[in-house]
Amino acid sequence: MARNPTLRRCEALLAGLEPDFTFEPPPPVPETEYADRVRRVRHEAAQAGLDAVVLHTDIAAFYHASNSYLRYLCDWIKEGVLVVATDASRAPVLLSFFSTSVLMPPPGEAVGVDDIRQTGQWGRETYDRPGDVNGKLAVATRGILEELGADRGRIGLIGDALSDRFFAALGEEAVGAAFQRAGAIIDRMQRVRTTSEQAQFRAAAQLVDLGLQAAFHVIRPGVSDFEIYAAFTFAQMARGGEAGDGCQIGIGPHGPHVSKPYGRIVRAGDLVGLYASNVPYRGYWAQAARMVAVGEIARECETLIEVCLEAHRRGLAACAAGVLVRDVNNAAFSALVERGMIDSPEARAMPWAFAPGADGSPLPVPVRTIPDRDLEGQGRALRHLYPAVRGPIDGPRFGHGITMPDMPGYSVISSNLDRLETGQALVLHAQWVEPGRAGCNIGGSVLITDDGIEDLNCHTPIAPHRVPA
């Protein structure tokens, strides 16, 4: 059978790719560190007057855990309910295998948990029995609370929006218990990272750089965004990246109006935006953004890139342990103030590309036909100018914390009066869009160290990668 010429082309694009550094995977977070996390949760729960903590995570979309609380506490990446008694003499209990997205076996054991119980699906559709999965799960959880002597005590609940139905069912079952949300116990543990956690962030950032180098290798006139996406994804996932859905690509003469790939072809004069918004490694993710100029690009784009490069340099120079987060943000945006692009670095006074109206009401997206021959060739067309407002893409801020998927973070923004601490991991990116005219998004992940910062994306230069047309 003849081979598909499209597949041959994709493989040929990656021929000769040699990253300029070797990825060396760090060891996983040690089991002793997970035990310490459980100890800290128990300590805070006891101080809050709780008798037990119930953590819940479900499956979202295809095989993704809906939150990372369970993985953070025992490295279980599937769905599950973990019951941890405040009494350290009572071992934690894990209920799992209750979604239809069952992976057998799960990648790795639940660290520090010996009592794992399989609850299974329930209901007419999957089991031909009357009942409900959440109801059965709540009954099982109540039984564990009874075993731990906590069924009439105070119970802390940790989960996300997908946990609400289960928590409601648990409240109806365990009528003698009092419940309160307790996610802040683990949230507070996300700010400063241990040495072993820092190694995971460093690895995730290196995978981002490997993906970017692969993208640089294949970008040239005639290549599609599908092929760029495939190259990025292959390079990072072949070395341990846990997901391939965190990269966004924007191709056009005006810069990164980024999106998922849809068949756009690279042409001379295009500015390609590569926004690796998350590449996870062992549950920890990193982020970076780079620009690729294909031949000679618009002068307005070159000017904006220069401004963003200066903003990024100023922001990085301001980073140090003990510095106000606000001061880092304002140092970066001072480059835009000096150019007259904004009047102030204060978030409330700054435009934002995807902002609503001044009073929070919806802002109409301008109706305007945007030529796009590749989309039009598919029978579709762009009839609106995105975004509706000039300004930074990711809100009026210079960056944000990086952590585990769906864990709460913090913003590098004018209103943040916290001080940076050694061990914090964050992403700093200078970004701006003039709709339909120019755009730029550059930045990467950093660690705050005792003597400044560590650039985790040091293997790909921050300046635009330039490809001859």
> What's the CA gap between 275 and 286, in Å, rounded?
11
pLDDT averaged over the chain?
93
Q: What is the pLDDT of residue 270?
A: 96
> What's the CA gap between 365 and 388, in Å, rounded?
5
Determine how many CB atoms are found less than 10 A away from the CB of residue 113. 21
> What's the CA gap between 320 and 450, in Å, rounded?
8
Instruction: Name the band, by pLDDT with cuts 50, 70 and 90, for residue 127.
Output: confident
Assess contact for 430 and 444: CB atoms under 8 A.
no
pTM of the model: 0.94
pLDDT in tens, 265-303: 999 999 999 999 999 999 999 999 999 999 999 999 999
Mean pLDDT over 327-339 rounds to 98
Assess contact for 75 and 111: CB atoms under 8 A.
yes
Q: Is the peptide bond before 105 cis (omega within 30 degrees of 0)?
A: yes
pLDDT in tens, 141-188: 999 999 999 999 999 999 999 999 999 999 999 999 999 999 999 999
Residue 138 DSSP symbol: H
Residue 285 DSSP symbol: E
Assess contact for 412 and 428: CB atoms under 8 A.
yes
Q: What is the pLDDT of residue 132?
A: 85
pLDDT in tens, 398-425: 999 999 998 988 999 999 999 999 999 9
Q: What is the pLDDT of residue 466?
A: 98
Range from 59-73, 182-196, 198-212, 453-467 carrying the lowest mean pLDDT: 59-73
> Residues near 161 by Cβ (< 8 Å), separated by ≥ 6?
none
Q: What is the pLDDT of residue 99?
A: 84
Could you give all domains of the chain from N- to C-terminal order, each with its CATH number?
A: 31-190 (3.40.350.10), 195-467 (3.90.230.10)
Residue 126 has pLDDT above 90, yes or no: no
SS3 340: coil
Instruction: Name the band, by pLDDT with cuts 50, 70 and 90, for residue 40.
Output: very high
**Please, what sign has the CA dihedral across residues 82, 83, 87, 90?**
negative
